[in-house]
Structure 1
Amino acid sequence: MLNKEIPFIRIVAPICCGIVVGLWVSPGTTFFIVAALITAVVFLVGRYFRKSIYNPVFGLASCLAFFLIGLFLYTKQKEDIHELPEEERIYVGILEDYPLEKPRSHQLELRLRHVLVDGETLPVKGKVLVYNDTVANEKFIPGNILIFRLTPLKITNRGNPCEFDYKFYMENQGYRYYGFSSSEDIIDIQSPEKRKFRYLALIFREKLLNIYRHNGIEGEKLAIIAAITLGEKGLLEPVQKEIFSKAGIMHIMAVSGLHAGIVALLVSWLFFFLRGKLKPIREVISIVSLWVFAFITGLSPSVMRSALMFSFLIAGRLIKRPVNPINSLLASAFVLMIASPSVIFSASFQLSYMAVFYIISFEKHLAGIFDIKNPLPAYLWRSASTTITAQAGTLPLTITFFNRFPTWFIFTNVLILPVATMALIAGFITLLTSPLHIVSTTVAGILDKLIGLTEDLTRKAAALPLSTIDNVGMTVPECIVLTVAITLLFRYLTDRKRLSPLPPLAMIALFTSLVTIKSFIVANESKIIVYNTIDYSTTAFQTGKNLVVFSDSSSVEEVKRHKATLGLKMDIVKLSDNPVQIKSLDKKVLITGKINGNIMRKLEPEIVVLKGKNVDIADEDYGFNHPEAIVISEEVYLRSYQKEILRRITADTLHSVSSDGAFIASAKQKTIFKH
């Protein structure tokens, strides 16, 4: 029955499985040829068997075919990112976007096209991030061709426990390398004969952004309206993102399904008079408006995903057939996966599709609990029910990705979202009326007030007591099981007469078991960890669920995700400039910015953690008490003679956190700390 109502589930599910399997295996051409032949044979066998077994055989062959398509597409996508030698060469690339200003440089996103090797120009694929000290000028336009000199460096993770997989994230965006360059490394910048449509969209978005500037909108307000209406988040300050995240309305800052839905609804209201036989015209106008909106926001992946998703939903109404909206949702996902298989690993893809899936499936049932006749209370309850449904569907993902959960999300979405929606509409009117200076300026004044009100309400909401539950987290298996459990529970609650409560209860029991197993494993772990933290040293001792952290900084963001994911209790001890020796677990660990023979003979440390930007390493006899490991913190810069001295100490392990990742050593569990 499900297959007939939602036929795309038979396509999307095996494709997703094929893509996921592609994480671990990358078969060659021979494999795919043989697999395709086997699939064709299965199809033929099903064709000549009796009808009673035709459907199962045909279904098996279909699943196998779509599984192979998913595996093939993802394998090809990975192969399209070429390996580059970590040596200086001249490259030719296309500028993907306007330069993004960083504290000490500009970030250039470049799609590689050619590399010059021994006087020969060779094709190369993939994208690279270049950090350049050149001040951005009118030549750095999306689509322009850059000829530049670069030594590519491979993007790596920091190796910290439970860290965000940045390397995997960037590779799914097409980036495997980054590099640093100066103004002298930019050899030439050329304009293409014909600029691609996507680059034209980015240029047009920049022109629209300048309209806001010309109307007096600057600073934080410009950053917010640029994010809401144009999808330009590069102007947002980290503090602004933090405030909107704590208030539970960060989704209004990322142009996605919410904004596409507002555009479609606004167009439907404007053309309300197109009814009856003229209603299809209104639907077509809505679809066209969605793609115009996608164009002015730079055709970013999240906006195109939302436009495609709503286009399928509207098309379902347009053809006047009883189309299941979930099938339309899956159809849009299918198109996106064919275009870019790695999209299923994107946090925004998962969050937006899960939210829309829950709203389609369960919001109507939740809203129907109360039959409210008064328009205002009815609107408030409908907004609240939509928010609750979407938050329930995205709860596991939110905790897994962001390690926090906003507690006032109902209040903020019901109160702030309408104001932000009015700001969105005012922003569009400001752009549309730009030729009429007086009108545009007047509307821009209203827009300025609305953005100010949005920001003010958001700050107050974020400052409320217990505005968020921070430092919570879960593993990927826990996230998957909890998502299934919540889905089954909602499904049961919407149809309790026909459905059994056993499936949701079983999944809840499985989730509880996973959490219990994780707690048991963590409770029996003992580790010494030197985190790969930026510009400061952080050493931690984990004994069971207790994590004692010794750090130069009181803000240890890299440690918080580890703490949240495993549910650890953390204590932070601020380090001074003096050497500190900690006797914990079964090890003596010396954290210091200075080592010499006297210190080593007197303290006899088993692990030495070097910290500080100006370490002092004495060139003298260190005796026979050699440490098991010398760990060099990320901020430490060693001169060549200092490296030679460390090699003479002949520790079993010489570990550089900046190049080798975080240092993690298991130890026997002892809970006594002495320093």
Structure 2
Amino acid sequence: MKFINFAFVKFSVFLVLGILAAHFFPISTLSLNFLFALLVGVFGFWLWARKQLIQTVYFGIITYICFFTIGFFSYQIRLPQFQEKHYSHFITDETSELLQLKITQTLKADKFNFKYFANVNAKNGIPTNGKILLSISKDSLSKSFTADEILLVYASISEIPKPLNPYQFDYSAYIKSLGVYDQLRISEKEILETSLGNPTLKGTAQNLRAAIVEKLKKSKLKTDERAIIQALVLGEKRDIDKDLYNEYAAAGAVHILAVSGLHVGILFYILTLLFKPIARWKFAIYFQAISIVLLLWGFALLSGLSPSVTRAVTMFSFFAVAKLFNRETNSINTLFLSFLTLLIINPFWLFQVGFQLSYLAVFFIVWLQPLFYKIGYSKYWIVRKAWTIVAVTLSAQIGVLPLSLYYFHQFPGLFLLTNIVVLPCLTILMFGGIIIVVLAAFNYLPDWLANSYNLLIEWLNGFIHWVAVQDEFLFKNIHFSTLKVLGVYLLIIALALFLKKMNYHRFVISLLAISILITIFIYDEFKTSGNQLVVFQKSKLTLLGYKNGKKLIVFKNDSSKNIFETYPLKSFREAANITTYSEEKLPQVFQYNNKNILILDSLGIYPKRNDIHTLLLTNSPKINLNRLIDSLKPKQIVADGSNYFTYVKRWEQSCKLKKLPFSYTAKQGAFSIE
């Protein structure tokens, strides 16, 4: 299958390059206007060139430039600075404003707050747009809100904080990929008025899903079993127990808990079987195509039109229609057509993990599954069916493995066993789940059916638990850099091309790919072999980490154990390629890179010396900082998260008067001592 000859693959590549260029190298408004004029000119030239009888190489170059420019322009115009009515152009920092908000999506609540995405419809009566993250204190709120409700609030919009520790998950960057740039944290007293806004399709879908969930709660379904059916059919994962979710992740089956191309594919297969009796009708193929696509979108509506469901249904709608019209030979082109369409609609999806993993999984299934299936083909039906599951699982796992290691830093060694057992059951679970949801929606769910589903899910959860506790097969804390991801994908593609058609040139390319990957591993080892001393940010606790190559010594001021597997050390360990770890009691004075560092705790006792380079203040020592500075003459002062904020504010003023560098980890983030 020479997929590189497919037009939509090439167009998609240049569209992605344009989006990446806009993401990493944004331009000014003037430059964007020039780019738009260039896009119009290029598109006009393309329209003229395509009418010529003989096409030249310049026609192809212009076409690729056109898609690159579309990607760049499509991403750039969605940024707040290029939207004339975006709320960010009208707000004043740290100043309360009269804001009209319309809730667009209900999110999973945390321990203290209800959370929503909301659109800023107006500021002080001035029409605006733009999404924010809305957090409302649970203690102050008598009821939660639903999609399409309008709130009139008096509060100030603030930035979403960036991570305070090295290699920590950047929630602010993640939320920006959803088109959300700021947050609003309020209590009920700041809500002046509420009303019901004009219903939207997405809001109606979410409210329908919420209503079905409430009806499921009143059925005989148990809590964990109900959470699984909500995830499988409704795309609602908020009620899944954290430990249960972690077990699915450890077993390599977490993908069944998020509605994706797999679920939509199973639904398509079920619908195809249901429509099979009418296959001999004159216009049956058109009726099938229209009906199945409409039912797929009905499923998406039932699932609340969440981004993952919308992506999967859009992708599979293209793929399903092509299959119905017997265009299997063009399956990769069809896949990339849906990819291209979705990125033109919303270029921010390119940076979402779910989008990346879903398309990689489907691409490698379409591309590699025929190769694996041919290798293990058998004349026995049962063996062929079992091998088909193995081939699909291997293809998908190969496709997503490098990116999964990069994002999640673990690999479930029993993924193949899990999927051989789970995938055949998933069709039954999906079919039964849809029936249960529909019956529950009409208040006609019989207890025997709910109890039967309970038993089935209990068996599945029991199997998942058994696999998850096999710790020796779960490989965790794997260091995997961006370069390793690129290197492994290069090797996978080179080897796959060689296995599809063995010749000298592809053999040389495979050897070159292996050499590049080995070089990347050597470079990564060298890059992570340096020394580093970090004052981590953790509330009410002092954590000082000394990294020496692959070894990490953590100095701390309490007796708590097992902090290496918790925030903030876990992410640091994975990213810094740490293999050896130890803990020691926090010293008062020590030396690093020929610089003396003094740690001052709550006792406030310090030695009389004048060779201190860095002074670290911990546990709110009661000291006269001005006198201490005059005595010790430090070159810089650092306060960590164990100090009272009022003390830190006073120390900061003292350092400002003394013109001495001052850092507070709860504000500036973890401090690296050079």
> Is the counterpart of residue 164 in structure 1 residue 169 in structure 2?
yes
For 1:501 and 1:248, the matched residues in 2 are separated by: 33
Secondary structure of the residue that 2:77 maps to in structure 1?
A: helix
Find the counterpart in structure 2 of residue 484 from structure 1: 490
Q: What is the match of residue 234 of structure 1?
A: 238
Equivalent pair of 1:198/1:299 in contact (CA under 8 Å): yes
Q: Is the 8 A contact 1:152 1:178 kept in 2?
A: yes
Deviation, 1:45, is 7.2
Aligned CA distance change for structure 1 residues 169 and 619 (closer, same or farther; 3 Å): same
Q: Which amino acid in 1 is paired with 2:375?
A: I
Alignment of 1:166-565 (within 5 A): 166-192=171-197, 194-276=198-280, 277=282, 278-321=284-327, 324-434=330-440, 440-497=446-503, 500-523=506-529, 525-533=530-538, 536-551=541-556, 552=558, 554-555=562-563, 556-565=566-575
1:617 corresponds to 2:627? no
Separation (CA, whole Å) in 2 of partners of 1:642 and 1:86: 18
Match in the other structure for 1:10: 10
For the pair 1:123 / 2:128, whether they are aligned, the reply is yes
Q: Is the 8 A contact 1:172 1:342 kept in 2?
A: yes
Offset of residue 109 of structure 1:
2.3
> How many Å apart are 1:168 and its aligned residue?
1.7
Aligned-partner Cα distance in 1 for 2:43–2:96: 52
Q: Provide Cα deviations, 1:15-34, integer angstroms capped at 9, x if missing partner.
A: 11111011233234543444
Q: Could you say if the C-alpha distance between residues 377 and 143 of structure 1 is closer, same or farther in structure 2, counting changes exceeding 3 Å?
A: same
CA contact (8 A) 2:248 2:254 kept: yes
TM-superposed CA distance for 1:3, in Å, is 7.8
Once residues 649 and 177 of structure 2 are traced to their aligned partners in structure 1, the CA distance between those partners, rounded to angstroms, is 39
Distance 1:182 1:561 in 2: 33
Residue 166 of structure 1 and its aligned partner are, at CA, apart by 2.4
Tell me if the contact between 2:104 and 2:119 (Cα under 8 Å) persists in the aligned partners: yes
CA contact 2:232–2:257 (8 Å) conserved in 1: yes
TM-aligned CA distance change 1:563 to 1:645, over 3 Å:
closer
1:43–1:57 Cα contact (<8 Å) kept:
no
Counterpart residue number, 1:91: 99
Counterpart CA distance in 1 for 2:430 and 2:328 is: 33
Match of 2:31 in 1: 31
Counterpart residue identity of residue 67, structure 1: F
Q: Which secondary structure state, in structure 2, belongs to the residue aligned with residue 23 of structure 1?
A: helix
1:86 deviates by 2.8
Aligned counterpart, 1:149: 154
Describe the superposition over 1:486-544 as per-residue Cα deviations: whole angstroms up to 9, x where unpaired.
12212221222586122232223222212212222332x22211223455332211222
Task: Note the alpha carbon deviations across 1:160-181, whole angstroms, 9 max, x for none.
Answer: 3333332221111122112321
- Name the % identity: 22
The answer on 1:19 being equivalent to 2:23 is: no
- 1:672 corresponds to: none
- Letter of the aligned partner of 1:270 in structure 2? L
Higher alpha-carbon deviation: 76-85 or 645-654: 645-654
Shift of 1:93: 1.1
Note the alpha carbon deviations across 1:171-226, whole angstroms, 9 max, x for none. 1112211232111011111101x200000000111121123212122433222221
- Contact 2:163-2:169 within 8 A present in 1 as well: no
SS of corresponding position for 2:637: strand
Output the CA distance in 2 between the equivalents of 1:49 and 1:206: 51
Q: Is the 8 A contact 2:610 2:631 kept in 1?
A: no
- Give per-residue Cα distances to partners, 1:250-301, cap 9 Å, x unaligned: 1111111111111111111222213244244333332222111111110011
Give the stretch that moved more between structures: 38-47 or 465-474. Answer: 38-47
1:634 to 613, 638, 641: 641
Q: Give me the whole-angstrom Cα distance separating, in 1, the residues matched to 2:502 and 2:394.
A: 20
Return the alpha-carbon distance in structure 2 between the equivalents of residues 317 and 48 of structure 1: 33
Query: Which piece of structure 1 moves more, 65-74 or 43-52?
Result: 43-52
Q: Distance in 1 between matches of 2:419 and 2:514?
A: 29
Quote how far apart the aligned CAs of 1:451 are: 1.6
- Choose 13-22 or 491-500, whichever is displaced more: 491-500
Pair 1:643-2:657 in alignment: no
Whether the aligned pair in 2 keeps the contact of 1:129 and 1:179 (CA below 8 Å) is yes
Q: By how many angstroms is 1:244 displaced?
A: 1.2
Distance 1:373 1:650 in 2: 84
Distance apart, 1:233 and its partner CA? 1.4
Quote the residue 1:63 is aligned against: 64
In 2, Cα distance between equivalents of 1:600 and 1:144:
62
Instruction: Tell me the secondary structure at the aligned position of residue 163 of structure 1.
Output: coil
Which is worse superposed, 362-371 or 265-274? 265-274
TM superposition shift of 1:365: 1.1
C-alpha distance in structure 1 between counterparts of 2:395 and 2:327, whole Å: 27
Aligned residue identity for 2:65 = L
- Using the size of structure 2 for normalisation, the TM-score is 0.90
> What is aligned with 1:105?
113
Gaps of 5+ in 2: none
Give the aligned residue type for 1:6: F
Whether the 8 Å contact between 2:410 and 2:475 is mirrored in structure 1 is yes
Q: Relative to 1, partners in 2 of residues 1:635 and 1:183: Cα closer, same or farther, differing over 3 Å? A: farther
CA change 1:641–1:500 in 2 (3 A) is closer
Q: What do the CA deviations read for 1:342-370 (whole angstroms, capped 9, x no partner)?
A: 11111111100000000000111102212
Asked if 2 retains the 8 angstrom alpha-carbon contact of 1:419 and 1:450, the reply is no
Contact 1:630 1:651 in 2 (8 A): no
Shift of 1:474: 1.9
SS at match of 1:147: strand
* CA deviation after TM superposition for structure 1 residue 321, in Å: 4.6
Contact 1:420 1:450 in 2 (8 A): no
1:571 aligns with 2:584: no
Deviation at 1:41? Answer: 5.8
Do the aligned partners of residues 499 and 424 (structure 1) sit closer, same or farther apart at CA in structure 2, a change above 3 Å counting?
Answer: farther
Q: 2:667 aligns with which of 647, 655, 659?
A: 659
The alignment partner of 2:57 has SS state of helix
Whether the aligned pair in 1 keeps the contact of 2:164 and 2:666 (CA below 8 Å) is: no
TM-score, normalising length: structure 1: 0.90
Aligned length: 656
Shift of 1:652: 3.7
**Is the deviation greater in 513-522 or in 599-608?**
599-608
Secondary structure at the residue paired with 2:199? coil
Q: How far apart, CA to CA, are the structure 1 residues paired with 2:154 and 2:45?
A: 57
